[in-house]
Amino acid sequence: MTNRNDSPATPESVVDQRVVGPILVVTIRRESKRNAIDAATTAGIDEALNRLEDDETLRVGILTGGPSMFSAGTDLVRTAGPPTPRGGEYGIIRRKRRKPLIAAVEGFALGGGMEIVLACDLVCASRGTRFGLPEVQKALVPTCGGLFRPVRALPLNIARELILTGDPLDAERAHALGFVNRLTDPGGAFDAALALAERIVRNGPVAIEQSLAVTQTLTGADDGTAWALTDAATATIMRSADALEGRNAFVEKREPRWSGK
């Protein structure tokens, strides 16, 4: 397949778009910040995924962070900016999509980075990659689907362990548990994602769209309740003394002193 209509990252966009036949490749380019999501990155992801949905010549998307890492989550200094009208948080978390989106993951996908992966349909990852939701270690909770989407994508007790310990899950175990579709050698996640996308686009477009719609409807049937519970948990956390202590301990590079309040 040939490339066309490339849209390279700029200092303003920090997200580039590359078209390979009917496949849109979206790459986060903030390596110096561990691909942390700031407002410009949110806008770039949103723009790219809007293009995927609106351009009828595009049939599958691949979202990657490049050859070294996926994303460390929200930029704690600059913040991720407001939710977008079509995509929600990070431009993707609450998006209604008609076309499959594959995450190609190298290195790590942590916090919001993991929540972005959970918002995709399929996952390709290299050996040694780590997936994690470390929020609880700072007396916080995941706010972008990380409290309920792991329960759908992983066995219940593994999801609980991920959420309650904050410890990472390596790609090898994630593959054995069915979360990762393709496990590769380091540096091979994107090629695996491209091969998987090319396999999908050989099938009927309407059949793909309708099949995806059914699976999304079934897995997202209780999203209203899930988001309401997440919002309630977040509100409680943000009023707690422990949340402030967690942030202070992180900044001061010391062990937190929890009060349970």
- Model pLDDT for residues 66-122, shown as the tens digit of each residue: 999 999 999 988 999 999 999 999 999 999 999 999 999 999 999 999 999 999 999
Q: Picking from 10-24, 57-71, 137-151, 178-192, which range would have the lowest pLDDT averaged per residue?
A: 10-24
Q: Assess contact for 119 and 105: CB atoms under 8 A.
A: no
135 is catalytic: yes
The pLDDT value given to residue 25 = 98
Choose, from 115, 198, 209, 252, the residue flagged as catalytic.
Answer: 115
In a domain, 122, yes or no: yes
User: pLDDT digit string (tens) for 130-186?
Assistant: 999 999 999 999 999 999 999 999 999 999 999 999 999 999 999 999 999 999 999
CATH number of the domain at 43, please: 3.90.226.10
Q: Is residue 192 included in any domain, yes or no? A: no
Query: Is position 49 within any domain?
Result: yes
Number of domains in the chain: 1
Q: SS3 of 95, please?
A: coil
194-200 mean pLDDT: 98
Which two structure tokens, joined as six digits, stand for 5?
A: 């209509």
pLDDT of residue 131: 98
**Residue 17 lies in domain:** 3-187+200-252
- Kindly state the tokens that stand for 49: 């995924």
Is 90 exceeded by the pLDDT of residue 39? yes
Domain annotation covers residue 33: yes
Residue 48: inside a domain? yes
Task: Encode 16-25: b = buried (16+ Cβ within 10 Å), e = exposed.
Answer: bbbbbbbbbb
According to the model, what pLDDT value does residue 82 have? Answer: 97
Which helix H or strand E contains 3, and what residues bound it?
strand 3-7
pLDDT of residue 11: 45
Average pLDDT over all residues of the chain: 95
Q: Which of 47, 89, 106, 135 is catalytic?
A: 135
pTM beyond cutoff 0.75: yes
**Which of 48-62, 92-106, 139-153, 236-250 bottoms out in mean pLDDT, i.e. has the lowest?**
236-250
pLDDT at 255: 93
Closest-CA residue to 53 (of 13, 80, 85, 82): 85
Any catalytic annotation for residue 106? Answer: no
**DSSP calls for 81-136:** -SPBTTTBGGGTTT---SS-EEEEE-SEEETHHHHHHHTSSEEEEETT-EEE-GGG
